[in-house]
Amino acid sequence: MNIKKILSDCITYKIDGADYENLIIESISADKGDYSLPCFSFAKVLHTSPMEIANKISESVSGDIVDKCEVVGGYVNFFLNKAKFASMLLENFGSKDLKISFGEGKTAIVDYCSPNLAKFLHIGHLKSLIEGESLCRILEQCGYVVKRLNFIGDYGTPFGKIIGGLIKWGSLDDVQARGNDALQEYYVKFNQAEVEDETLTQYARDLFKKIEDKDPEIYPMYEFIIDIAMKDAKKMFDILGVQFDDYRGENYYKQFTDDTLKLLNNKNLLSDSQGAKIVDLSEYDMPPALFIKSDGTTLYATRDLSASLGRFKDYRFDKAFYVTGVEQVLHFKQWFKVVDMLGLEYADRLEHLPYGRFSLPDGKISSRRGRQAVLVDFIEHITNKSTEAIKDRQFSIEKPEDVVKKVARAVLNYSVLKVERAKDGIFDVEKAFAFDGETAPYMLYTYTRIESVLRKYENSDVEADYSCLNEDAFEVAKLINNFKNVIELAFNKRDASIVAKSVMELCKAFNKMYTTCKIIDGNDASTKAKINLIKALKETLKVGFNIICIDPLQEM
């Protein structure tokens, strides 16, 4: 319910051009009402004091949603009729009330994760996965049809290194038996050997050239490696609850790069630079975008541009989001500008959403020296911690193994999303599993407490008496009513941490209410009012949990 519009409609004193609805704000404290309207911007128009204007507005307010108005220092403070507000909000409340419609009929594509299959997934990929997935869910809540794209890194010299390692020190049988562990072992060993033997660098490049040329001996080895690595990556995606619609990556879009280069040539954008082909971006205060290296091979920009052309043909997207690390900001600025220079119709639909680093307290993640925080090991560790956290709890509804998985996933995902997207985050495993404080287990426990209350309630046909709601219950109602605005703000800011923080506020507010307000109190009318409130809260938390990639529990 749009309470700001309702309040603005209660004001009969009109000022030309005044947008009361968008000026009304939440009051900073209960003694200053529930909502406030600052009147300072009207002073210049009416050539009178804000206090005088505030008094005129206050005197003109009518409507049973407003209990009273007070004027303080140029503000009109609205005190809501709590029973009326709660009745309007909670009668027939459902998840439909949290749907946003501005994306209806539109398609958004979201490119996220994009692992290099030559390397293990590490916890840095967790940030991309969860930020990207949460963005998809925000978009869906806003009405968009969303396509999840994983631009797989399955191209380049690293695959020459893996094949080189396999030829020198391994076997296909070993890979068949040990899977991606064997491939990573060859990759690390090759990188270590390369330090002592510089000829190995060219050897890896030559092997990759054979991959490009689909050499009858080397290319099948490459396909075998990709299949093994892809299966391993998909296992991680399944554990984290993320599914993609499109896994086409660099190798797939390489076939279209010649057409892309022709397009650039036809627009006279390509120029020579020491044997390489570039697009000069000096006019835009950026270094040149490199599209062909001096040895004739293409680069990320070539393949990203090719992919965008293919994706627009396939999906006719209205929005295209790229969720990657902050270190790729320049890369995206460059090729987005090239799209603009080409005059392509989707140029203004591309958006890069950089995220900060996410790591363990030990520090920066390395991917070549055998010391990386490998995601599979990290998830196993978190799952073990989850098992330990719930070992003394009894379950009659949920299966313990399902609870372990949901708690582990919630801890991981909330640890990512509670931090603003662009900021760095450090994951403290011990604190993350606490049942008090701002943690995922605290939120899950709150939800199970709601489920427990609802299971105890015996339905009654009496009319709810919302006048029984105390200040703490009313605060929960206000947070529920504001949650749709929270989702819209998260969309506008492209930041799921806004939703994560609001979900935590809802949980805290409910737990405070739970201690000050007996829910099933022996009075059918007042009990019905409080039950309607926590039913609405449950629906709101379900939507919020979904957005921040947490599966609710019935008991814990």
Domains and CATH numbers, the chain: 3-80 (3.30.1360.70), 157-239 (no CATH), 375-547 (1.10.730.10)
**Residue 15 to residue 12: CA distance in whole angstroms:** 10
Cβ atoms of 277 and 271 within 8 Å: the answer is yes
Q: Which of 134, 123, 133 is nearest to 503 (CA)?
A: 134
**Residue 35 to residue 77: CA distance in whole angstroms:** 6
Continuous H helices in 118-179: 123-141, 157-169, 172-178
| Dihedral (CA of 221, 226, 231, 232) sign | positive
| Dihedral (CA of 246, 424, 543, 551) sign | positive
Q: What separation in angstroms does the CA of 132 have from each of 137, 241, 322, 548, 555?
A: 9, 12, 8, 11, 29
**How many other C-beta atoms lie within 10 A of the C-beta of residue 475?**
20
**Residue 321 to residue 311: CA distance in whole angstroms:** 12
Alpha-carbon radius of gyration of the chain: 29
**Residue 498 to residue 487: CA distance in whole angstroms:** 8
Q: What separation in angstroms does the CA of 91 have from each of 1, 544, 556?
A: 11, 20, 29
Please give the pLDDT value at position 204: 95
Burial class of residue 508, CB neighbours in 10 A (0-12, 13-18, 19+): middle
End-to-end CA distance of the chain: 32
Cβ atoms of 298 and 257 within 8 Å: the answer is yes
**Residue 96 to residue 121: CA distance in whole angstroms:** 37
**Residue 150 to residue 110: CA distance in whole angstroms:** 8
User: Own/partner pairs for 228-235, CB < 8 Å, 24+ apart?
Assistant: 228/175, 228/179, 228/180, 228/183, 229/117, 229/118, 229/180, 229/183, 230/117, 230/152, 230/154, 231/179, 232/179, 232/180, 232/376, 233/115, 233/117, 233/121, 235/376
Which letter, b or e, does each residue of 314-353 get, where b requires 16 or more Cβ atoms within 10 Å of its Cβ?
ebebebbbbbbeeeeeebbbbbbbbbebbebebeebbebb
**Residue 340 to residue 348: CA distance in whole angstroms:** 8
Per-residue pLDDT of the chain (556 residues; tens, 9 = 90+): 999 999 999 999 999 989 999 999 999 888 899 999 999 999 988 999 999 999 999 999 999 999 999 999 999 999 999 999 999 999 989 889 999 999 999 999 999 999 989 888 877 788 999 999 999 999 999 999 999 999 999 988 999 999 999 999 999 899 999 999 899 899 989 999 999 999 999 999 999 999 988 999 999 999 999 999 999 999 989 988 899 999 999 899 988 999 999 999 999 999 999 889 999 999 999 999 999 988 777 788 999 999 999 999 999 999 999 999 999 999 999 999 999 999 999 999 999 999 998 877 654 444 343 445 678 888 888 888 899 888 888 888 888 889 999 999 999 999 999 999 999 988 887 788 888 889 999 999 999 999 999 999 988 889 999 999 999 999 999 999 999 999 999 999 999 999 999 999 999 999 999 999 999 998 999 999 999 999 999 999 999 999 999 999 998 8
Tokens of 313: 């043909």
Cβ atoms of 37 and 76 within 8 Å: the answer is yes
Tell the residue number behind the tokens 């209806």, with chain if given.
104
Residue 210 zone, left/alpha/beta (φ > 0; ψ -120 to 50; rest): alpha
